[in-house]
Each structure stands twice: as structure tokens, then as C-alpha cells.
Structure 1
Amino acid sequence: MARSTSIEPPARRLTDGTVALRLRRASDLGAIAAASHDPETRRWLDDEPMDEEARRTSLARADEAWRNGRGAPLVIADAVTDEPVGIINLQFRSDDVATVAYNVFPENRGRGIAPMAVQLLAAWALSDLRVKRLILEASDGNTASIRVAEKCHFQYVGTRTETPEDGEQQHTTVVFALEGLNSALG
């Protein structure tokens, strides 16, 4: 589901001095595509690795997500060099409920980038976009993403266990939520 209206990109630069969130550019696509093939990324994300067709249409699909209110795809960039270090996306379930999804590129992991980016995105979504509830979901084995949720003051909601139709192993997802402006986002 999407918002009932389009989403306007941030009116101000979203940065904490270390990372910045910005719109995707053609020059980011090589790094995004390379990260989509990373084994650790593949371990946690359901998205298929970016092939040439996906790379060719990536910017148009990102623009469409903003236009139709479905999502707000952004790049996590180094605040000084503006080089892409990851991606982050706000995906809307309704006008006032959205999920947060992110991926820090392999060479930038372990530097605290994900919590900084999630805090910037959450502050913007809760204030400027008037989102009432942000949801962050992580596989129960993804301790790094669970720590990000906790560092960003998301509250544990529960778990959801799914059994794939193909009979493969069950998958448990841990669900966290951040409500309104009652969090310590700064």
C-alpha cells in the first residue's frame, strides 16, 4: 500500500555531519549494484541482486516510488565526500505507517552508519512526513539489525514466523516499532 499522495523529498539536507541522506543518482548505481551481490547482503534481503535491467530502470523506479507515495528511496552518503556508503528506504503501508529498510555497503560496515542513517530517516519521517508509526523488521539471526533497532529506540513488538510454501526452513522475523515523536532521536 502507498500513501494517498506523493512524497516530497527532504526540503533540507538530512545529515549528522558523518552521514547524509540524499536522492539516488546515476553515479551511485555501480555501488548499489555491487552491494546487491554481496553474500552478507544476500543472506538478509529478499530482493534479487541487481541485474542490468534493474540497474537501467533503477532511477525511474525510485522516482516513481516518490511520485506514487509508495516509498522514499535514499542513498546514505558520507557527509564529507558525498560518496555512497549504503541505501535506505521508507516504504509506506498507509499514510501514517511506514517500514524502514537499509543496507550499508560491505566496505563501510562496522562504522555505526546504519544507526545514524536510521535516526536521520526516522526524525524526517516522524516530523516532516507526519508518520505516526515506523516499523523496522529484522531476521531473528541478524543481530546487527536488531542492535540498530535498539540503538535507535525502536521498541520490540514481537516476532512473526513464516513457513515458505516450498517447504524450506521456517523464517522468524523480529518486529520493532517507533511511535510518533516520543523517541530520543537526537
Structure 2
Amino acid sequence: MMRELSTPPVLPSGLLSGSPQPVLPAAQGLLLRPWESADAPVFLSAYQDAEIRRWHTRRPLTEARVLEWFDAYRRDWVGEKGGHWAVAHEGGDVLGRIALRGFDFDDGIADISYWVLPAARGRGVATNAMAALSAWALDEIGFYRLYLDHSTRNQASCRVATKSGYLLEGTQRSAAVHDDGRHDMHLHARTRED
């Protein structure tokens, strides 16, 4: 069913699907690049980390399942639903993950999610990846608003959001289920005007 809008969409349909998912440079020699099949072992191992498991209840259990996720990520790009990147050293190891999901071209909004492997934490990896992805999405592509949410108990994620210029807009009560029950979630956002 086609929606009739009283205003034109912020972003035109077909803006991204006609080109390959980009590789985005970030500070400290980092690259945001599409996931590759060879990344499956490190992606799977990330979900064995207690902190990543604590905040992410959707987890792959096998490398075969990871490869299915990677296929879904490619379909998301082609279908203009989202983009999923490995955060890596230039020509080197994967350090984390960042995604821009839930593309809404009518309103020009999308949400961001991320995690960083234990060995890379505390080194600005997530903040630098957020800066690069945000600049690309807001300035180059033309999204108007990017947002993220995280458990109010996840202080590290809150610091990353704040350092990346995502203002805390409020608390969503009992908005997500984690392994230990329902969590209140902080909502952060950044707009082109920020």
C-alpha cells in the first residue's frame, strides 16, 4: 500500500540501493567496512563476551548463523532498511560493530547501535566510529535525525553517546527486555542542527 504524504520525503527512495555499501574512514586509522565472511569467527566470539551478552539478547550461536546475519545485512542495504559495518583497523583486525538501522526516508531518521570487543574498549573506538557514521549519514546522505537507546544501567554506552554529540532526550520506562528482566532505556539523539 502506497502512503500519500502531504510533504515530500526527506530522502528519495533509491538513494542508497543503487550503490555499494561504502567503506568509511574514521579517526585513529579506523575503517567502517561491510562485514565479510572471514569475519564470522570474530563476530561469533564477540557474543561470548559477558558485557556484549549483557546488553544484546539477540545472539548468533554458530558461524553458520553469523553468515546468515551477514546475508541479511547485505539485503538490508539493497532494500534500504539499514547498513551494518565492521569497525576495524585499516587492513587489520575487527574491533567492533556499528549499524545504522530502521531507515525512514520519509522523515529522514534512523537508529544507531554498536558494540566494541573487550581488547578495544576505552580507546575511543566506539566514539570514533559514531563520529564517522554520523557525519556520513547526516552530512553526506542527508538524514535529519539519528537516535539510539541503551539500558540506563549501561554507563559505558551512555558515555559514548554523549561524547558523540547525542543528547539525552529522556528515559523510556521498561522499554526493553534483557536477560535479567525489563530495563528502562535512555534515548539519545542527534540532528543536523546540533
In the TM superposition, 1:28-47 aligns within 5 A as 28-47=39-58
Query: Which letter maps to 1:24?
Result: W
Deviates more, 1:146-155 or 1:51-60: 51-60
Mapped to 2, the partners of 1:59 and 1:170 lie a distance apart of 28
Residue matched to 1:154: 166
Within a 5 Å distance, the mapping from 1:53-132 to structure 2 comes to 53-79=64-90, 81-95=91-105, 96-132=108-144
For 1:156 and 1:135, locate their aligned partners in 2 and report how far apart those are by CA, in whole Å.
10
C-alpha contact (below 8 Å) 2:100/2:111 kept by paired residues: yes
1:49-76 per-position Cα deviation (integer Å, ceiling 9, x unaligned): 3424412323311110101111100110
Kindly indicate whether the alpha-carbon contact (under 8 Å) linking 1:37 and 1:49 is maintained by their aligned counterparts in 2: no
SS of the residue 1:177 aligns to: strand
Structure 2 length as normaliser, TM-score?
0.82
Match of 2:187 in 1: 175
Gaps of 5+ in 1: none
What is the identity, as a one-letter code, of the residue corresponding to 1:111?
R
SS at match of 2:150: strand
Counterpart of 2:3 in structure 1 is: none
- List 4+ stretches of structure 1 deviating above 4 A: none
Q: Which runs of 5+ in 2 are unaligned?
A: 1-11
The answer (yes or no) to whether the contact 2:24–2:133 under 8 Å persists in 1 is no
Q: Structure 1 residues 116-125 or 12-21, which shifts more?
A: 12-21
Is the aligned partner of 1:143 residue 2:161?
no
Paired residues, what number? 176
SS in 2 for 1:54: helix
Amino acid at match of 1:173: M
Partner Cα separation in structure 2 for residue 178 and residue 47 of structure 1: 26
Give me the TM-score of the superposition, normalised by structure 1.
Answer: 0.85
Counterpart CA distance in 2 for 1:118 and 1:163 is 23
